[in-house]
């Protein structure tokens, strides 16, 4: 009976691709000091450096994102990009998808202090509805929770994996109506003051325009000047000079 039970467990493990695969530590969220550790549609993981140290550099590492109910029966033998692992079908017709594939060469164990060794899950928006890219790292559809693990493949053969992470819950988007406005107690008085100032400014502006129009109107009226009369200068002859005969001069 014991032998048959062991054989049954072995067959179950083989069916799920877990039979001869080394299982290593579990993924963890990046440090909260980096900011944006979780958002409404993304979360940030530490890269799996110094995890798959016994594998060749050309081994491809995949990130598996799953709902918690898919963890127990997850099969490592389902190929990435297949309908059962497509992001566009998550979580309606598949409870897990695979994304962020890269070779182990991009996860070197040694790193400098300037390296930012994190992975943002859910950061691609352009391929979210593109069924030609089933391994899209698209925005997560809800707050979760989600669980993730890294799976190493040699071609299509699983060769190593990590344990599943702890459940990761994203932030819930808060409706704008529930966000309290800063200084809401003074909002009515501020609105009233702003309205009064606006009316006073409008009156002042109207008065200024009226003054400008009145000034331009008065300066345009031409003044009427009476035409100067012609001055007639009468010529007076000196009678005592011209009326006397020439002989008497």
Domain spanning 19-165, CATH class: mainly beta
- Residue-range domain boundaries for the chain: 19-165
Per residue in 203-225, pLDDT (tens digit) is 988 888 888 887 766 655 444 44
Instruction: Return the structure tokens found at 233.
Output: 């200068």
- pTM, entire model: 0.64
How high is the mean pLDDT of the chain?
80
Question: Is the pLDDT score of 184 beyond 80?
Answer: no
Q: CA torsion, points 240, 241, 245, 249, in degrees to nearest 10?
A: 110
Instruction: Return the structure tokens found at 248.
Output: 């008497």
Query: Cα separations (Å) of 206 from 28, 199, 209, 210?
Result: 67, 11, 5, 6
In which residue are the tokens 């991009």 written? 106
Per residue in 7-57, pLDDT (tens digit) is 444 445 444 444 478 999 999 999 877 778 999 999 999 999 989 988 988
pLDDT of 45: 96
DSSP 3-state of 74: coil
């Amino acid at each position: 009976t014991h032998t048959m039970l062991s054989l049954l467990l072995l067959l179950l493990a083989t069916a799920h691709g877990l039979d001869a695969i080394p299982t290593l530590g579990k993924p963890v969220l990046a440090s909260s000091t980096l900011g944006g550790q979780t958002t409404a549609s993304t979360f940030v993981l530490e890269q799996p450096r110094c995890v798959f140290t016994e594998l060749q550099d050309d081994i491809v590492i995949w990130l598996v994102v799953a709902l918690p109910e898919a963890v127990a029966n997850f099969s490592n033998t389902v190929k990435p990009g297949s309908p059962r692992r497509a992001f566009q079908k998550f979580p309606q017709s598949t409870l897990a998808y695979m994304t962020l594939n890269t070779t182990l060469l991009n996860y070197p164990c040694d790193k400098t202090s300037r390296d930012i060794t994190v992975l943002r899950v859910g950061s691609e928006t352009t391929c979210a509805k593109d069924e030609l890219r089933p391994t899209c790292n698209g925005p997560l559809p809800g707050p979760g929770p989600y669980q993730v693990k890294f799976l190493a493949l040699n071609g299509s053969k699983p060769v190593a994996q990590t344990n599943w992470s702890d459940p990761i819950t994203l932030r819930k988007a808060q409706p704008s109506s529930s966000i309290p406005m800063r200084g809401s107690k003074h909002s009515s008085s501020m609105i009233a003051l702003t309205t009064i100032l606006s009316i006073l400014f409008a009156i002042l502006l109207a008065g200024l325009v009226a003054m400008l129009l009145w000034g331009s109107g008065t300066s345009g009226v031409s003044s009427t000047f009476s035409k100067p009369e012609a001055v007639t200068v009468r010529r007076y002859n000196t009678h005592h000079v011209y009326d006397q005969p020439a002989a008497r001069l």
